Structure 1
Amino acid sequence: MCIGIPMQVVRLEPGHALCAGPGELRRVRTALVGPCQPGDWLLVFIDSAQEILSPERAREINDTLALMQAALAGEACAEPAFALPSSLSRDELLALSGRPALPTTGEPV
């Protein structure tokens, strides 16, 4: 399984960015995300940026990864400081995925 890690752009290079992540600096390909700037957050899979993230979304992902790491280590986990997708309504999930809310007809989506 591959997990995307939020990393922050430190410096740009042609076709790449030097990014800071949890305890490391990594040279990341930026071809899939296009232009980015120092300070931007990227969602990185292996050594390739897949998406430019808002700082808030980067924090949510980092917080989720910290919860997963704590659970795997057998540590007690605090309640997340953000809404998990499993707690969202149908309309909130549709909005999160970029789709408009559907009229309620009683039929499953």
Structure 2
Amino acid sequence: MRVVTGDECVAECERHGTISSVSMMLVGAQLPGTYLLTHLGSAIRVLEGDEAQAIDDALAGLAEAVEGRPFEALFADLIAREPELPAHLREG
């Protein structure tokens, strides 16, 4: 979501034209235009614009897949690269 206005406790945030009240207790006051990862009405983490776009694309891709529509383009960041093991699973 993107902050529209608010303070350290509550912000009005927008996603796809819908405005929602979001608790800011975990992240504090944020400037208008700041992207947030939210869950159940609470801001969990401040996001950079590219990360917010990747999350939005992934959510849209899941919705497209459920509806049986093409979704691969929304996961371009995953399709266009070789998979990598997490560091703790790589050989020493």
Answer whether TM exceeds 0.5 for this pair.
yes
Runs of 5+ in structure 1 lacking a partner? 1-6, 95-100
Partner of 1:10: 4
Following superposition of structure 1 onto structure 2, how do residues 1-109 of structure 1 map, counting pairs within 5 Å? 7-79=1-73, 80-83=75-78, 87-90=82-85, 93-94=86-87, 104-105=91-92
TM-score with structure 2 length normalisation? Answer: 0.82
TM-score with structure 1 length normalisation? Answer: 0.70
Identity of aligned residues (%): 29
After superposition, the CA RMSD in angstroms is 2.2
Distance verdict in 2 for CA 1:54–1:14, change over 3 Å: closer
SS in 1 for 2:19: strand
- Aligned equivalents of 2:38 and 2:90: distance in 1? 36
* Aligned partners of 2:12 and 2:22 also within 8 Å: yes
- Aligned equivalents of 1:77 and 1:60: distance in 2? 13
Aligned-partner residue type, residue 77 of structure 1: F
- Aligned equivalents of 2:66 and 2:89: distance in 1? 38
* Aligned partners of 2:5 and 2:13 also within 8 Å: yes
Runs of 4+ in structure 1 over 3 Å off: 101-104
Aligned-partner residue type, residue 45 of structure 1: H
Runs of 5+ in structure 2 lacking a partner? none
Aligned-partner residue type, residue 13 of structure 2: C
